[in-house]
Structure 1
Amino acid sequence: MITLEQMKESMNAGANVLSEDGAVLGPMGQLYVDDVTGEPSWVTIATHTMGNPESFAPLQGATRAGRDIRLPYPHATVYDSPKMSQDGHLSPEEEQNLLRYYGLMPAKDDDVATDRATGVTTDRAADAAPAPLRSSRTEGDYAMTRSEEQLRVGTEIRETERVRIVKRVVTEDVTMTVQIRREELVVERVPVRDGKPFYDDGEGSFTDAERERLYSAVETAFNGDTTEVVLYEEKPRVEMDVVPIERVRIRREVRTHDETVGGEVRKEVIETERIEL
């Protein structure tokens, strides 16, 4: 029988619990001692993933293998054992349920048996001495673990929108005023008197070139002379020039703001109940 001091030594050393063939079942969890004798009676093993209840195994018939604890049960038996609430105490009903599972106590179906030859029903439980109701608690003080939920707030990055720069062509009507020049034909008649031009403001004189053109015209008089004059004017001309107007650039800025979040959390409250005996 492993003593309480040996179990404490193994727990402090971070020992593992082994199956009957020496395979590691998992690290040692909590040690339960008998409420009456104070001797080690049960040990828990983390045989499942984190968050799942640990498996209970009896220390009856267990031995030490170095600092580890070796149980006389195969891996599957411990793995499939009934999962009990780990509130620091095993009730008599819970302990009897575990004892029946490990074969350390007769099953309820075996308490009553019928003799096939005589047809007499025998109550084995009545014949056997009644087993005292025992309970076990975790080693140490009579204590209970109280738990509560705590609100953990963090942040996560998620995409809110996607911005894309796109150029599109729009048209608009533009009206502008431009000054246009044109030539018009003006006929000016100047009378000639005595071979000299006569203007409204008095007599004038011809230049030599004018006098030569005057007498040459006289020589061709009555010959149907024709003179052509070309007139010019300006026309508006519209041309399109592409010129840069502005440059658009986008960039990201990180802005922060305070946001209040809340949630409902649960917590355990330990109360005492008085049981009259």
Structure 2
Amino acid sequence: MTAVQPITRRPAARRSPLLTLGMLAFLIYFLLPLFWLVVASTKTTGDLFSSFGLWFADDFALAGNVRRVFTAQDGVYGQWLLNTAIYSLASAGGAALLCALGGYGFAKFPFRGNRLMFGLVLGAIMVPSTALAIPTYLIFAQVGLVNTPWAIILPSLVNPFGLYLMRVYAEDAVPDSLLEAARIDGAGELRVFRQVVMRLLAPGFVTVLLFTLVATWNNYFLPLIMLNNPSLYPVTVGLANWAGQATVAGGGSGDVIPLVVTGSLVSIVPLVLAFLLLQRYWQSGLTTGGVKQ
């Protein structure tokens, strides 16, 4: 007759009031500017300067402000938004694909100079993108790509951090046994990458995609020096131009500032939707294509 083991209860998780307060402070710090932006976008020009900044005014003017944003200057804001979407989607998709190819190659194809070249990639992460903006402009000016969409898309395809992330992710996410099995079945390297590797790298691919999408969408300095045609501006440069007009206008700045505020709110909506739509790829797919032991 076996002895009955006593049931032991796990100790309840301890909650730290100090840690909770710290997390609430960080939450307020990050959400307060967004809350102010939402509130300010619902106000008229007069209420924007006369009412309390962190609460709504009596006149809820969000619909009118949005309509003014898209109709001002013959609807140029819509063109800016479309330009930003084109630049960001092309850059994010291309950069994520290149990072997946490069990271998979570094992780699964040993070759002479692998560590040295990957060390150069790590070194490139330390170089700020603003330091490369002027040299990039001079190179693009020589080949006639300044003031074209390619002046924004091509530099954004280079993502050293994304390459580093995909290399680290591919080392553990792609089993060597699965690659060998696919090659034994007669699959070529391109087919192996397309049908096997990309499925395993989906969470990392989406991570790099989102990072590049946000970076390109919020990029300001590179489009500022590369583009001089207002019809090619992204949202960041276009809103900065409107803000500059408000500063120059002086007394008449009240008519332009609501456009800048509401336009800023509208510009972040696609990023929020992108995160919500692609979030499931981080939660699912981590075990996609796993090898049964």
TM-score (norm 1): 0.19
Q: Return the structure number with greater strand share.
A: 1
Q: Which has the higher contact order (CA 8 A, sep 6+)?
A: 2
TM norm structure 2: 0.18
- Name the one with the larger helix percent: 2
Question: Which structure is larger by alpha-carbon Rg, 1 or 2?
Answer: 1
